[in-house]
A = this chain, B = another copy of it.
């Protein structure tokens, strides 16, 4: 009930944290990015990511599915085939992700530098 900035910042806090919980998951952003091109199978994603366990990948995919970010289509053949694709919601998520990615690419060096500067100060 306080004026201006405070209530404003706290207002979107819940939603923002929710979103960060989603894209904060270790592989979620990468998965969504990899699905930008086209729908992909489980094994494709696993292969392209490389160092991710089946369990971790499955977990992320399930979460993204629950949140309506991706769609999971099972084709009941032998052997089973499962395709993952972005929903419209998922595709819209690419916008803020791209914004984040651009910032990351531009400023990552500065952050690394800042960290090492800090480490030096500590050593001294």
Give the secondary structure class of A's interface: helix
Question: In this assembly, does A81 line the interface, its C-beta being within 8 Å of a C-beta of chain B?
Answer: no
Residue pair A118, B15 in contact (C-beta under 8 Å): no
The 8 A CB mask of A52-75 against B (1 = contact, 0 = none) is 000000000000011110000000
Residue pair A103, B108 in contact (C-beta under 8 Å): no
Size of the A side of the interface (Cβ < 8 Å), in residues, is 49
Residue pair B15, A30 in contact (C-beta under 8 Å): no
Chain B residues whose C-beta falls within 8 Å of the C-beta of A14 in the assembled complex: 108
- The 17 listed contacts between A and B (C-beta, < 8 Å) are A6-B48, A9-B34, A9-B48, A13-B30, A15-B105, A16-B30, A16-B100, A16-B101, A18-B104, A18-B108, A19-B103, A66-B118, A67-B115, A68-B113, A68-B115, A92-B103, A92-B107
